[in-house]
Amino acid sequence: MDTGKVAYKDYIGALTKYHIPVFDRTYITSIDQDRLREFNVKRREIANKDLSKSTILNHNAA
């Protein structure tokens, strides 16, 4: 029986496809507003489309 949340699969997907490639070896303490703005631009480039608010909220939760 699987006891993990279904959303965890979405979180893993977001981290693998977007967060890890963009932030790679960046210390979390080095992520500031400029890096987050850069992430938003790159995330849109990776997706090749505008992401829904729901998707963005899912990424933020991850």
- The residue behind tokens 């987050």 is 36
> Angle 7-14/53-61 helices, nearest 10 degrees?
90
The closest alpha carbon to 58, from 2, 3, 12, belongs to 12
Question: Which residue ranges make up each domain of the chain?
Answer: 7-61
At residue 3, the pLDDT reads 64
* Distance between CA atoms of residues 9 and 40, nearest Å: 21
Structure tokens at 48: 């090749």
> What is the Rg, in whole angstroms, of the alpha carbon atoms belonging to the chain?
13
At residue 5, the pLDDT reads 80
Q: Tens of pLDDT along 42-60?
A: 999 999 999 999 999 999 9
- Does the predicted TM-score (pTM) go above 0.85? no
